[in-house]
Chains A and B, each alone.
Chain A
Amino acid sequence: MYQWDFYTVLQSFDLFVSGLWTTFAYTVGSIAIGIVVGMAACFARLSRWAALRIAARTYQEIFRCTPLLVQILWAYYALPMLTGYSISNTAAGLLTLPLYVGSFYAEIFRGGINAVDKGQSEAAAAVGMSGLQIMRHVILPQAIKKMLPAFINQSVIQVKNTSLLYAISVAELTYMTSVVNSDTYRPMEAYTLAAVMYFAMLFPLTQWADRVERRLARGD
């Protein structure tokens, strides 16, 4: 029977907390930038110009079809060899995380916009609205409701994705856990505590996402 002993691990609880804050910071940062990237890619996919559509599609396929871990490692180790400039692990993290989640957001945004009935944009056009006005006043307000569940889902996944930054020594929660582990030699307690902390952060989010989805379904 394994003898649980959280005492030594909890001595370094401040490291876990620091790691949690860093995880939170990278999550919020990468989601915020990812939204901007995703919207740009989404509108590029929907634009009239084939060059923009192809460029956006290429970007999406590259970032959706390669593992995030490989992207992070590539940005940190391989990119400096191409550019001649070294890159901090923070920069590597803030480069790849938004680009990665942005490629998924772009699909979610595009799906939401395309789910709005075509008659809506025709009716708006028939009243004389320009493309921008149609998007702003008619399409986006309706599309956002449709994309919200998938968007929240992807954002929850993004919280967990930050743990991959451990591979380039970013001091987020997973990395801090490994530091405590190498100090205390108690991997069971250390990693269990990390899992509990991730769970505590994400469970309220998934419950909220369920509530949002139910409320939207009721509204229809």
Chain B
Amino acid sequence: MDTDRGEPVLQVRDLRKSFGALEVLQGIDLELRPGDVLALIGPSGSGKSTLIRCMNMLEAPSRGEVLFHGRPVCTSFKGRGQRVGTGELRRRVGMVFQHFHLFPHRTVLQNVTQGPIVVLGEAPAQAEARARALLERVGLLDKCNAYPNHLSGGQKQRVAIARALAMNPEVLLLDEITSALDPELVGEVLAVIRDLASQGMTMILVTHEMGFAADVASRVVFMEAGRVVESGPPEDVLVKPRTERLQAFLARHLR
């Protein structure tokens, strides 16, 4: 079914979101297929973060649809049927935040095992074993028993990625995950993402790292003022921008 990259995993149709009078998303249509690595770029305030937050229902859309494997996502109990509840959606669509948001009252290992134990009902021993494997994968096995406030930003973000991966998600939503990091710590986090991409993880990255996007993304989407302006492979969008607005944006961002 998903082997030919045919069926979209995650889809938004005419998605609109307003905060009061401010219309942040003005009708977005987007599709994410298995194995896609989609880089979402654009100026501040263009709605990029709001868009991916609608994709795991941290924000509820004002209008339009979010579809997971073709089934609409809903927030209420009524008329469930074919629809996907937010709990199920979030178990299968993981998110990593700009400011990490690790649980400060838990060790690194406990941060990673918390989701599987509480949400998936996994046995603690098994959850711990998987967590150690994930922490090793992100290079932080030696920090298992440390508390988050003893870690650097780059280390915290790698733990956050391990925490998201512990739920075995089909899709990862990455919301400017390097924007809050000191420049010298960015590389270690991007290395993890590059590794995930090479292993076929479906991801959406909201990012300002154009070089990285060019390297890793299979598709780049440029947003401005709540709309998708350009979309395509990185060699098209980033190298040969068609619209003036994208050209201006790239001129500001690529030195």
A117-B101, A120-B103, A142-B105 known; A126 and B95 CB under 8 Å? yes
A:102-129 near B, CB below 8 Å: 117, 119-120, 122-129
Q: Quote the shortest CB–CB distance from B244 to chain A (angstroms).
A: 36
Q: Quote the shortest CB–CB distance from B26 to chain A (angstroms).
A: 24
Q: Is B97 in contact with A128, judged by CB distance below 8 angstroms?
A: no
Query: Complex: how many Å from CA A137 to CA B104?
Result: 12
Q: Is B119 in contact with A128, judged by CB distance below 8 angstroms?
A: yes
Could you give, for residues 138-166 of chain A, a 1 whenever the CB lies within 8 Å of some chain B CB and a 0 otherwise? 10011001000000000000000000000
Partner of A129, one of B95, B101, B105, B118: B118
Q: Quote the shortest CB–CB distance from B119 to chain A (angstroms).
A: 4
- Which of the candidate stretches B6-14, B86-94, B203-211 sits at the interface with the other chain? B86-94
Q: Is A119 in contact with B114, judged by CB distance below 8 angstroms?
A: no
A127-B164, A128-B87 known; A122 and B118 CB under 8 Å? no
Q: Quote the shortest CB–CB distance from B77 to chain A (angstroms).
A: 13
Query: Complex: how many Å from CA A49 to CA B115?
Result: 28
A128-B87, A130-B87 known; A138 and B103 CB under 8 Å? yes
Q: Is B115 in contact with A127, judged by CB distance below 8 angstroms?
A: yes
Is A88 an interface position by the 8 A CB rule?
A: no
Closest to B92 in A: A128
Is A169 an interface position by the 8 A CB rule?
A: no
Query: Could you say which residues of chain B place their CB within 8 Å of the CB of A122?
Result: 58, 97, 101
Query: Complex: how many Å from CA A3 to CA B99?
Result: 69
A119-B101, A138-B103 known; A125 and B58 CB under 8 Å? yes
Total number of residue pairs linking A and B with CB closer than 8 Å: 52
Is A133 an interface position by the 8 A CB rule?
A: yes
Q: Is B163 in contact with A127, judged by CB distance below 8 angstroms?
A: yes
Query: Complex: how many Å from CA A118 to CA B146?
Result: 23
Closest to B56 in A: A126
The contact size tier of chain A is: 10 to 19
Query: Could you say which residues of chain A place their CB within 8 Å of the CB of B118?
Result: 129, 133, 137
A:39-62 near B, CB below 8 Å: none
Q: Is A127 in contact with B90, judged by CB distance below 8 angstroms?
A: yes
Q: Is B99 in contact with A133, judged by CB distance below 8 angstroms?
A: no
Query: Complex: how many Å from CA A126 to CA B99?
Result: 14
Query: Could you say which residues of chain B place their CB within 8 Å of the CB of A141?
Result: 105
B:62-97 near A, CB below 8 Å: 87, 90-91, 94-95, 97
A133-B118, A137-B114 known; A127 and B94 CB under 8 Å? yes
Query: Could you say which residues of chain B place their CB within 8 Å of the CB of A137?
Result: 114, 118
Q: Quote the shortest CB–CB distance from B58 to chain A (angstroms).
A: 6
Q: Is A123 in contact with B102, judged by CB distance below 8 angstroms?
A: yes
Q: Is B97 in contact with A125, judged by CB distance below 8 angstroms?
A: no
Q: Is A126 in contact with B87, judged by CB distance below 8 angstroms?
A: no
Query: Complex: how many Å from CA A128 to CA B94?
Result: 9
Query: Could you say which residues of chain B place their CB within 8 Å of the CB of A130?
Result: 87
A120-B101, A138-B103, A141-B105 known; A128 and B115 CB under 8 Å? yes
Partner of B90, one of A117, A119, A120, A128: A128
Q: Is B58 in contact with A126, judged by CB distance below 8 angstroms?
A: yes
Is B24 an interface position by the 8 A CB rule?
A: no
Partner of A119, one of B99, B115, B164, B167: B99
Query: Could you say which residues of chain A place their CB within 8 Å of the CB of B164?
Result: 126-127
Closest to A119 in B: B101
Query: Could you say which residues of chain B place their CB within 8 Å of the CB of A129?
Result: 115, 118-119
Q: Quote the shortest CB–CB distance from B105 to chain A (angstroms).
A: 5
29 contacts between A and B (CB under 8 A): A117-B101, A119-B97, A119-B101, A120-B103, A122-B58, A122-B97, A122-B101, A123-B97, A123-B101, A123-B103, A125-B90, A126-B56, A126-B94, A126-B95, A126-B97, A127-B90, A127-B94, A127-B115, A127-B119, A127-B163, A128-B120, A128-B167, A129-B115, A129-B118, A133-B118, A133-B119, A137-B118, A141-B105, A145-B105
Apart from A122-B101, A126-B94, A130-B87, what are 12 other A-B pairs with CB-CB below 8 Å? Answer: A119-B101, A120-B103, A126-B56, A126-B58, A126-B97, A126-B164, A128-B90, A128-B120, A128-B167, A129-B118, A133-B119, A137-B114
